[in-house]
């Protein structure tokens, strides 16, 4: 079971990710991801990237939104040091349109605090909404 402190730290991590991207502060990368993280944007035709060098190189040239917000985060503890997470992303693109996406994460406790070991981003489109079941 996650402590309230863990939940606060994970919430801070989600916010830190958005702020790092939105403010183009790649110097904060190590505050967000593990060194061997997997970052998958294949659903948006932006590829899948693994590890610091590859992810940072991608982030330097990626078509970032003007602003985005992480919402509705649900946590699934797997162990004391590993948590699955499912959340939503609302992003405003440069042309003013809204992008909706789903984040599926694997979060791990490190000596420096909670970090993303994996983030898979899928766009939320009318055809991607699951059937009622």
pLDDT tens, residue by residue, 28-84: 999 999 999 999 999 999 999 999 999 999 999 999 899 999 999 999 999 999 999
Cα separations in angstroms, 133 against 88, 108, 124: 20, 31, 18
What single string gives the DSSP state of each residue in 73-112?
Answer: EEEEEEETTEEEEEEEEEEE-TTS-EEEEEEEEEEEEETT
| Span 69-95, pLDDT tens digits | 999 999 999 999 999 999 999 999 889
Of residues 129 and 37, more confidence is placed in: 37
**Which domains, ranges and CATH numbers included, belong to the chain?**
4-124 (3.10.450.50)
At residue 12, the pLDDT reads: 98
At residue 41, the pLDDT reads: 97
48's CB contacts (< 8 A; 6+ apart) are 38, 39, 40, 41, 42
Q: Is residue 132's pLDDT more than 90?
A: no
Q: Is residue 21's pLDDT more than 80?
A: yes
């Amino acid at each position: 079971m996650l402590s309230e402190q863990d939940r606060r730290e994970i919430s801070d991590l989600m916010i830190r990710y958005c702020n790092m991207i939105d403010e183009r502060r790649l110097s904060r990368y190590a505050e967000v991801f593990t060194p061997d993280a997997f970052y998958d944007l294949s659903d948006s035709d932006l590829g899948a990237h693994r590890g610091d060098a590859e992810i940072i190189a991608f982030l330097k040239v990626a078509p970032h939104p003007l602003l985005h917000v992480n919402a509705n985060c649900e946590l699934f503890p797997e162990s004391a040091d590993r948590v699955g997470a499912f959340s939503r992303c609302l992003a405003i693109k440069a042309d003013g349109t809204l992008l909706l996406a789903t984040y599926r994460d694997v979060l791990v406790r490190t000596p420096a605090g909670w970090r993303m070991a994996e983030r898979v981003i899928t766009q939320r489109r009318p055809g991607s909404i699951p059937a009622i079941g």
